Structure 1
Amino acid sequence: MKNALLISLFIIVSNGISIAQQNYFGVQNSKRKGMINAKMNPAEINNLSKKVEVSLFSINAGVDNNVLSAQDIIDNPDVFDNIFDNVEEPVNLRTDVSVMGPAVGLRFDKWSFGITTEVKAKVDIIDFNPELGNSIIQNANENNVQTSINIPENQRINASGWMELGFIVGRKILDTDFHTLSVGGNFKLLFPGSYSNFGVDKLKATIIHSEDETLITDAIGSLNLSYDERWENEDGFDLQDDLWRGFNPGGLGVDLGVNYMIKKDNDPLLNIGLSVKNLGSMGMGSNQRHKNYAVNIPQNEYFRIDNLDGNVEEIEQQLVDSGYFTINDADSDIRVNLPRTMSAYLEFSPVKTFQISLYGQKRINNESNNINLSAADLIVITPRLVLGKFELYSPWMQHQISNFTGGLGFQYGGFFIGSNSVITNLIKNDSHRADIHLGLSWGFGS
């Protein structure tokens, strides 16, 4: 089990930079409406500030965890040797980056249209049990250690990557001098890249480590292992050849949204939106290996995990040959569910120079399921100073994993740069989030 976990960690790390489902919190509620706003809610395509909006690029990177702060790592570079000490709750980490390439939006009288390109991926550690983490570290650093673990919930290490080609369409249902009601949809072709998952569910076991061997006994539970068989090559873990599987679409995703705006003197006074995002799934292709194992090692019988050796396929065979691991489900053509969310927001502009927005997001799928991609629950409040083309905004977020963070950013025309955590990282020593977002767009026409 130790080797299998290390293999999964290696698979995730060797993916390189991770790119993921992530909203541009803070800037996405800007008074200047562009393609970032339309990605948040496709109904916002009807509210583009310019008749033609061209997004050249947008990048957003963030990492959240509930165990370590950046200051912990700076103060103690060896902190990973005892990272699970004094940790009582499950360990969680979300690494998110989003890269949106060229995107174009066109606003007409009642109809609006857009095309977007985006690269996404996710790297998550979900509810990792600190007792298991401690046993792995102790087995690596100490001798004659015996650890009993009882893990009732599914814990996962998950990484995925894909690309999207989105087609946005929106229509104004109602449009007067006083208010506007719009609807929209974003229909996305999904191009799968790579997917890996290591899940351990309802595990009860005793791990014994001595100077010469590491044994597991009195164990029962289930194990999920999913990975791209292209990892199995003579050069090791390398996906440089045909990473995007020939750019063949593997599924369809859908975002749906509605937007209501109250206007004062032709300017937005109150803007309210609701959207459901990432309905759909994608097939990972015939070269995906996906297996579920039942683990049953009786008391007084032992399985030596330090003897596991070779590539992933060879280790799988050693598990089966032991008689303690039984394949009860295998599928080479799995479908992975997108990180489904429901979000709502409110933007209030009492005067032309000030706006305050409230954004909330709720995950609507079960992140403990081995084929579901996760998304975080969160709420963000953002005051914004507006001086013509210049906007200064400060997002304050309560995040499911990293708790409370505060940031700062600015936007001038179509250029923006900011962070949702820079303030708390500067004034607090225990902030558990780090992120940055920036982008450039250009609009013309009235």
Structure 2
Amino acid sequence: MKNLILLAVLFVIICNDSIAQQNYYGVQNSKRKGMINAMMNPAEINNLTKKVEVSLFSFNLGLDNNVLSVQDIIDNPDVLENIFEDIEGPVNLRTDVSVMGPALGLRFNKWSFGLTTEIKAKADIIDFNPDLGSSIIESANNDNNQTIINIPDNQRVNATGWMEIGILAGRKIFDTDLHTLSVGANFKLLLPGSYTNFGMDNINATIIYSEDEVLLTDAQGSLNLSYDERLENDDDFNVEDDLWRGLSPSGLGIDLGVNYLLKRDNKAFLNLGLSLKNLGSMGMGNNQINKYYSMNIPQNEYFRTDDLEGSIEEIEQQLVDSGYFNITNNDADARINMPRTLSAYAEFSPVKIFQVSLYGQKRVSNENGNFNLSSADLLVLTPRLVLGKFELYSPWMQHQISGLTGGLGFQIGGFFVGSQSIITNVMNGNNRADVHMGFSLGFGS
């Protein structure tokens, strides 16, 4: 039980002090085509700038939320104590971390191939009810009060990590001096790490708290708790050795893409792309515990929550003994669906030194499902100054969670560094913080 509490504390620390990633928005539409571009759309493997592309490393870190700006936290580190005050809608937070290891791309006449490695991690709060958050804080402060909770949709706290090994293949359907049409696919071997999910669905309850006790009454709803069973035992779980479960493959994923080039003087004048990403799922193995709790506490009957203590098994026994809770196990159901998205982009290069790109992404899976990973809807406009091997770009993004952000970055050959939010953070603060950086080499013409 102590490990589960530690995981919750770690999640709060992540929300408070760290940054994490989405994608390489801005640099992924670079005029220099490398493996970052092919990860955005596998059909771009056919447009590699060099015949051989070697990506040595890249990472992308970012945090999005709809409650606090970066400046709010800098100005008042204690602002989290009142985070749920004056909030009308659900609280959402998305963190994603991506570290891309060695990757190789090979371009031939009509066929191109690639190999990629990537480690990903996510920690999300999805549609968390602010009234419930306020009641938890007030309960912790022993305030005398009563809160009525009505949550019709599933709200989740979710954290996971996994590794992907991708094999890319692309082919040019036709290629002339004016037009090029290409298709591509990225077949990914999925290696799961750790998965934790806490989901509350269709919750209706009255919470009464005072200095002496916290009571539930007139309460109905269901809860999903999924976690690695080794978290229950401090002596058996070692983060360094066990978090990634030995990196055993347990799923397949696929990205599909199509790309069209309109050329002028044998250079791309207009580049259009469409891709469907993250089709597939991965199993979490025999160590994953997946439990469903249903609750029914009639009006004028009360259950005291502050008396719950002990191990998970001991707490569960207390819940069952109360007669208000029913618990079922369904460990075989712990298969995690990838965050499926549909994306499209257009890159327009009217003159040699200038390019502007528009990238859009739409989620096509339900992120409220307990075993679906989340992804954000967004739109990114990126003007780019191109001076030979040097590129200066400024991505401006409308994000589903954090709203409008503006950033800046530069690329020299295969090296790039930038942020999608640094400009708006410096100007007036926004609800996103991020950074991306990477380095690759190219050989051949």
Change (3 A) 1:410 1:416: same
Change (3 A) 1:399 1:236: farther
Note the C-alpha offset of 1:315. Answer: 2.6
Q: Decide whether the 8 Å contact of 2:66 with 2:91 is kept in 1.
A: yes
**Residue in 2 that maps onto 1:438:** 437
Q: Decide whether the 8 Å contact of 1:18 with 1:96 is kept in 2.
A: no
Aligned positions of 1:72-87 closer than 5 A: 72-87=72-87
Aligned positions of 1:5-404 closer than 5 A: 9-10=8-9, 12=11, 22-235=22-235, 238-328=238-328, 330-404=330-404
In 1, distance between residues paired with 2:214 and 2:236? 25
- Structure 2 counterpart of 1:284, which letter? M
Change (3 A) 1:313 1:186: farther
TM-score scaled by structure 1? 0.95
3-state DSSP class of the match of 1:241? Answer: helix
In 2, distance between residues paired with 1:102 and 1:438? 14
How many residue pairs are counted as aligned between the two chains? 443
Note the C-alpha offset of 1:307. Answer: 1.5
Q: Decide whether the 8 Å contact of 2:21 with 2:62 is kept in 1.
A: no
Change (3 A) 1:188 1:397: same
Note the C-alpha offset of 1:40. Answer: 0.1
Q: Decide whether the 8 Å contact of 1:293 with 1:325 is kept in 2.
A: yes
> Residues 140-181 of structure 1: CA distance to partner in whole angstroms, max 9, x if unpaired?
113321111111111100001000000000000011111100
In 2, distance between residues paired with 1:427 and 1:416? 23
Change (3 A) 1:227 1:15: farther
Note the C-alpha offset of 1:213. Answer: 1.3
- Structure 1 counterpart of 2:175, which letter? D
- Structure 1 counterpart of 2:362, which letter? K
Q: Decide whether the 8 Å contact of 2:215 with 2:305 is kept in 1.
A: yes
Note the C-alpha offset of 1:14. Answer: 8.4
> Residues 34-70 of structure 1: CA distance to partner in whole angstroms, max 9, x if unpaired?
0000000000000000000000000000000000112
Q: Percent identity at matched positions?
A: 72
Change (3 A) 1:217 1:310: same
**Residue in 1 that maps onto 2:421:** 421
Q: CA RMSD in A?
A: 2.1
Change (3 A) 1:105 1:29: same
Change (3 A) 1:26 1:419: same
> Residues 197-221 of structure 1: CA distance to partner in whole angstroms, max 9, x if unpaired?
0011111101111111111111001
> Residues 377-418 of structure 1: CA distance to partner in whole angstroms, max 9, x if unpaired?
000000000000000000000000000000000000000000
In 2, distance between residues paired with 1:5 and 1:151? 24
Note the C-alpha offset of 1:330. Answer: 2.2
Q: Decide whether the 8 Å contact of 1:65 with 1:94 is kept in 2.
A: yes
Change (3 A) 1:155 1:237: farther
3-state DSSP class of the match of 1:370? Answer: coil
Note the C-alpha offset of 1:80. Answer: 1.4
- Structure 2 counterpart of 1:171, which letter? R
Q: Decide whether the 8 Å contact of 2:19 with 2:434 is kept in 1.
A: no
- Structure 2 counterpart of 1:52, which letter? V
Change (3 A) 1:151 1:236: farther
Structure 1: runs of 5+ lacking an equivalent: none
Q: Decide whether the 8 Å contact of 1:8 with 1:196 is kept in 2.
A: no
Change (3 A) 1:264 1:352: same
Return 189-198 or 240-249, whichever deviates more.
240-249
Change (3 A) 1:18 1:418: same
- Structure 1 counterpart of 2:112, which letter? S
